[in-house]
Protein backbone atom coordinates (compact mmCIF):
# COMPACT_ATOMS: atom_id res chain seq x y z
CA UNK A 1 0.00 0.00 0.00
CA UNK A 2 1.34 3.42 -0.96
CA UNK A 3 2.05 5.86 1.85
CA UNK A 4 -0.46 8.46 0.77
CA UNK A 5 -3.06 7.79 -1.91
CA UNK A 6 -5.50 10.04 -3.69
CA UNK A 7 -7.86 9.46 -6.60
CA UNK A 8 -6.21 11.50 -9.38
CA UNK A 9 -9.55 12.27 -11.04
CA UNK A 10 -10.34 14.42 -12.85
CA UNK A 11 -13.55 15.18 -11.00
CA UNK A 12 -15.83 17.12 -13.32
CA UNK A 13 -18.40 18.94 -11.23
CA UNK A 14 -21.03 21.54 -12.18
CA UNK A 15 -20.76 24.95 -10.60
CA UNK A 16 -22.68 25.19 -7.36
CA UNK A 17 -22.47 21.48 -6.59
CA UNK A 18 -20.88 19.89 -3.56
CA UNK A 19 -17.84 17.72 -4.09
CA UNK A 20 -15.79 15.61 -1.73
CA UNK A 21 -12.64 13.58 -2.07
CA UNK A 22 -10.51 11.50 0.22
CA UNK A 23 -6.89 10.81 0.90
CA UNK A 24 -5.79 7.57 2.56
CA UNK A 25 -2.55 7.08 4.44
CA UNK A 26 -0.73 3.95 5.51
CA UNK A 27 1.19 5.05 8.60
CA UNK A 28 -1.12 4.78 11.60
CA UNK A 29 1.30 6.90 13.64
CA UNK A 30 0.87 9.92 11.37
CA UNK A 31 0.41 13.07 13.37
CA UNK A 32 -0.46 16.03 11.17
CA UNK A 33 -2.53 16.43 8.07
CA UNK A 34 -3.05 19.25 5.59
CA UNK A 35 -4.80 20.06 2.34
CA UNK A 36 -3.07 22.16 -0.31
CA UNK A 37 -4.30 23.39 -3.66
CA UNK A 38 -2.11 23.77 -6.70
CA UNK A 39 -3.13 25.70 -9.78
CA UNK A 40 -1.64 24.84 -13.16
CA UNK A 41 2.03 25.88 -13.37
CA UNK A 42 1.91 27.44 -9.90
CA UNK A 43 3.21 26.52 -6.50
CA UNK A 44 1.14 24.57 -3.95
CA UNK A 45 -0.67 26.78 -1.45
CA UNK A 46 -1.84 25.76 1.98
CA UNK A 47 -5.62 25.43 2.01
CA UNK A 48 -6.25 24.19 5.52
CA UNK A 49 -4.99 22.02 8.32
CA UNK A 50 -7.01 18.96 9.26
CA UNK A 51 -7.90 18.51 12.90
CA UNK A 52 -9.18 15.41 14.62
CA UNK A 53 -12.50 17.03 15.41
CA UNK A 54 -12.95 18.23 11.86
CA UNK A 55 -12.73 21.84 10.84
CA UNK A 56 -14.45 24.23 8.51
CA UNK A 57 -13.27 27.29 6.64
CA UNK A 58 -16.03 28.94 4.67
CA UNK A 59 -17.19 26.51 1.99
CA UNK A 60 -14.45 24.01 2.83
CA UNK A 61 -14.68 21.26 5.44
CA UNK A 62 -11.88 18.90 6.34
CA UNK A 63 -12.30 15.69 8.29
CA UNK A 64 -9.92 13.13 9.75
CA UNK A 65 -10.84 9.50 10.30
CA UNK A 66 -8.00 7.89 12.24
CA UNK A 67 -9.69 4.51 12.51
CA UNK A 68 -9.92 4.16 8.74
CA UNK A 69 -6.80 6.25 8.11
CA UNK A 70 -8.13 8.82 5.72
CA UNK A 71 -8.73 12.52 5.52
CA UNK A 72 -11.39 14.17 3.44
CA UNK A 73 -12.09 17.54 1.89
CA UNK A 74 -15.59 18.72 1.12
CA UNK A 75 -16.30 21.79 -0.98
CA UNK A 76 -19.81 23.24 -0.91
CA UNK A 77 -21.32 25.60 -3.50
CA UNK A 78 -18.34 25.06 -5.77
CA UNK A 79 -17.02 28.00 -7.80
CA UNK A 80 -15.20 28.05 -11.11
CA UNK A 81 -12.16 29.32 -9.19
CA UNK A 82 -12.09 26.08 -7.18
CA UNK A 83 -10.74 24.28 -10.25
CA UNK A 84 -7.29 23.09 -9.24
CA UNK A 85 -5.38 20.07 -8.05
CA UNK A 86 -5.87 19.30 -4.36
CA UNK A 87 -2.96 17.71 -2.55
CA UNK A 88 -3.07 16.06 0.83
CA UNK A 89 -0.04 16.05 3.09
CA UNK A 90 0.64 13.60 5.87
CA UNK A 91 3.34 14.15 8.47
CA UNK A 92 4.55 11.06 10.26
CA UNK A 93 5.90 10.25 13.67
CA UNK A 94 9.29 11.85 13.03
CA UNK A 95 7.81 15.26 12.51
CA UNK A 96 7.98 17.56 9.54
CA UNK A 97 11.37 16.57 8.24
CA UNK A 98 12.05 15.05 4.86
CA UNK A 99 11.88 11.60 6.39
CA UNK A 100 8.36 12.04 7.68
CA UNK A 101 6.47 14.25 5.28
CA UNK A 102 4.60 12.91 2.26
CA UNK A 103 2.46 14.59 -0.36
CA UNK A 104 -0.26 12.73 -2.18
CA UNK A 105 -0.24 12.86 -5.96
CA UNK A 106 -3.25 15.11 -5.96
CA UNK A 107 -6.86 15.08 -7.11
CA UNK A 108 -7.65 17.17 -10.15
CA UNK A 109 -10.94 19.07 -9.81
CA UNK A 110 -12.67 20.81 -12.72
CA UNK A 111 -15.68 22.99 -12.00
CA UNK A 112 -17.83 23.39 -15.09
CA UNK A 113 -20.10 26.37 -15.76
CA UNK B 1 7.37 41.57 0.09
CA UNK B 2 7.43 38.05 -1.39
CA UNK B 3 7.43 35.45 1.39
CA UNK B 4 9.45 32.73 -0.35
CA UNK B 5 11.41 33.62 -3.47
CA UNK B 6 13.48 31.54 -5.84
CA UNK B 7 15.91 32.37 -8.62
CA UNK B 8 16.06 31.70 -11.44
CA UNK B 9 12.51 31.03 -12.53
CA UNK B 10 13.69 29.13 -15.59
CA UNK B 11 16.96 27.30 -16.09
CA UNK B 12 17.98 25.57 -19.31
CA UNK B 13 21.32 23.82 -19.36
CA UNK B 14 23.29 20.99 -20.91
CA UNK B 15 23.86 17.55 -19.46
CA UNK B 16 26.91 17.33 -17.28
CA UNK B 17 26.81 20.94 -16.11
CA UNK B 18 26.67 22.08 -12.50
CA UNK B 19 23.97 24.56 -11.51
CA UNK B 20 22.51 26.22 -8.45
CA UNK B 21 19.05 27.44 -7.51
CA UNK B 22 18.68 30.05 -4.80
CA UNK B 23 15.89 30.32 -2.24
CA UNK B 24 15.16 33.00 0.31
CA UNK B 25 12.34 33.34 2.84
CA UNK B 26 11.49 36.44 4.83
CA UNK B 27 8.98 34.76 7.14
CA UNK B 28 11.41 34.06 9.95
CA UNK B 29 10.72 30.33 9.66
CA UNK B 30 13.14 27.83 11.13
CA UNK B 31 12.75 25.06 8.59
CA UNK B 32 13.22 25.12 4.84
CA UNK B 33 12.66 22.45 2.21
CA UNK B 34 13.40 21.52 -1.35
CA UNK B 35 10.91 19.60 -3.48
CA UNK B 36 11.00 18.17 -6.97
CA UNK B 37 7.85 18.02 -9.10
CA UNK B 38 8.25 15.86 -12.17
CA UNK B 39 6.32 15.79 -15.43
CA UNK B 40 3.64 13.62 -13.84
CA UNK B 41 3.11 16.37 -11.26
CA UNK B 42 4.21 14.19 -8.36
CA UNK B 43 5.62 16.45 -5.63
CA UNK B 44 8.46 14.74 -3.84
CA UNK B 45 10.38 16.09 -0.88
CA UNK B 46 14.16 16.13 -1.28
CA UNK B 47 15.52 17.86 1.81
CA UNK B 48 14.41 19.52 4.97
CA UNK B 49 16.78 21.76 6.90
CA UNK B 50 16.74 23.85 10.01
CA UNK B 51 19.69 25.39 11.76
CA UNK B 52 20.23 22.14 13.59
CA UNK B 53 19.52 19.31 11.26
CA UNK B 54 19.61 18.37 7.61
CA UNK B 55 17.31 15.52 6.70
CA UNK B 56 17.77 13.97 3.31
CA UNK B 57 15.23 11.86 1.49
CA UNK B 58 17.15 8.65 0.91
CA UNK B 59 16.14 8.51 -2.74
CA UNK B 60 17.88 11.78 -3.62
CA UNK B 61 21.17 11.28 -5.52
CA UNK B 62 24.24 12.75 -3.85
CA UNK B 63 24.69 15.01 -6.89
CA UNK B 64 22.12 17.19 -5.14
CA UNK B 65 23.26 19.18 -2.14
CA UNK B 66 21.57 21.93 -0.13
CA UNK B 67 23.62 24.77 1.25
CA UNK B 68 22.38 27.23 3.83
CA UNK B 69 24.46 30.38 4.33
CA UNK B 70 21.98 31.56 6.97
CA UNK B 71 18.56 30.86 8.37
CA UNK B 72 16.74 32.71 5.60
CA UNK B 73 18.43 30.96 2.68
CA UNK B 74 18.60 27.42 1.43
CA UNK B 75 20.24 27.00 -1.96
CA UNK B 76 20.25 23.85 -4.05
CA UNK B 77 23.38 22.77 -5.90
CA UNK B 78 23.21 20.12 -8.57
CA UNK B 79 26.32 18.53 -10.02
CA UNK B 80 26.65 16.63 -13.29
CA UNK B 81 23.11 17.32 -14.43
CA UNK B 82 21.22 14.48 -16.11
CA UNK B 83 18.20 14.46 -18.41
CA UNK B 84 16.08 13.00 -15.61
CA UNK B 85 16.75 16.03 -13.45
CA UNK B 86 14.40 18.06 -15.66
CA UNK B 87 11.52 19.11 -13.40
CA UNK B 88 10.15 21.99 -11.41
CA UNK B 89 11.99 22.52 -8.14
CA UNK B 90 10.12 24.20 -5.29
CA UNK B 91 11.58 25.69 -2.17
CA UNK B 92 9.36 25.97 0.92
CA UNK B 93 9.57 27.11 4.50
CA UNK B 94 7.61 26.30 7.62
CA UNK B 95 7.21 27.28 11.23
CA UNK B 96 5.49 24.03 12.06
CA UNK B 97 1.93 24.39 10.77
CA UNK B 98 1.91 24.03 7.02
CA UNK B 99 4.44 25.18 4.46
CA UNK B 100 4.80 28.20 2.26
CA UNK B 101 6.15 27.50 -1.20
CA UNK B 102 8.23 29.57 -3.56
CA UNK B 103 7.10 30.05 -7.17
CA UNK B 104 9.28 27.22 -8.46
CA UNK B 105 12.26 26.91 -10.79
CA UNK B 106 11.64 25.08 -14.04
CA UNK B 107 14.84 23.20 -14.88
CA UNK B 108 15.31 21.77 -18.36
CA UNK B 109 18.36 19.62 -19.06
CA UNK B 110 19.19 19.19 -22.74
Give tens-digit pLDDT for B50-105.
877 888 787 899 999 999 988 899 999 999 999 999 999 999 999 877 899 999 99
pLDDT score at B97: 77
pLDDT tens-place string over residues A8-65: 999 999 999 999 999 999 988 888 899 999 999 999 999 999 988 889 999 999 999 9
Predicted pLDDT at B1: 62
Higher pLDDT, B19 or A96: B19
The answer to whether the Cβ–Cβ distance between A98 and B101 falls below 8 Å is no
Q: What is the pLDDT of residue A17?
A: 97
Measured between beta carbons, the chain B residues lying within 8 angstroms of A85 are: 41
A96 has pLDDT over 80: no
Q: Would you give the end-to-end CA distance of chain B in angstroms?
A: 34
Q: Do B55 and A98 touch (CB under 8 A)?
A: yes
The answer to whether B75 faces chain A, any CB pair under 8 Å, is no
B30 burial (CB, 10 Å; 0-12 / 13-18 / 19+) is: middle
At A88, the pLDDT band (50, 70, 90 cuts) reads: very high
Q: Which of A96, A100, A104, A107 to mutate to test the interface with B (most CBs of B within 10 A)?
A: A96
CB B91 within 8 A of CB B23: yes
Residues of A in contact with B102 (CB under 8 A): 43
**To the nearest whole angstrom, how far is the Cα of A29 from the nearest Cα of chain B?**
18
Verify whether the Cβ–Cβ distance A96 to B48 is below 8 Å.
yes
pLDDT bracket for residue A112 (50, 70, 90): very high
Alpha-carbon gap, residue B43 to B36, rounded angstroms: 6
Chain B hits for A97, Cβ within 8 Å: 31, 48, 53, 55
Total number of residues shown for chain A = 113
Tell me the C-alpha distance between A32 and B18, whole Å.
Answer: 37
pLDDT at A12 (0 to 100): 96
Amino acid sequence: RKEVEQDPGPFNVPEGATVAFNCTYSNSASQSFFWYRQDCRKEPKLLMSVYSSGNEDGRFTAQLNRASQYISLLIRDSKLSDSATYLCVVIGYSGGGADGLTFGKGTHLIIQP
Amino acid sequence: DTAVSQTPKYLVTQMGNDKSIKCEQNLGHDTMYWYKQDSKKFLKIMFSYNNKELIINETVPNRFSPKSPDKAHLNLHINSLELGDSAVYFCASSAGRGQFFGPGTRLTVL
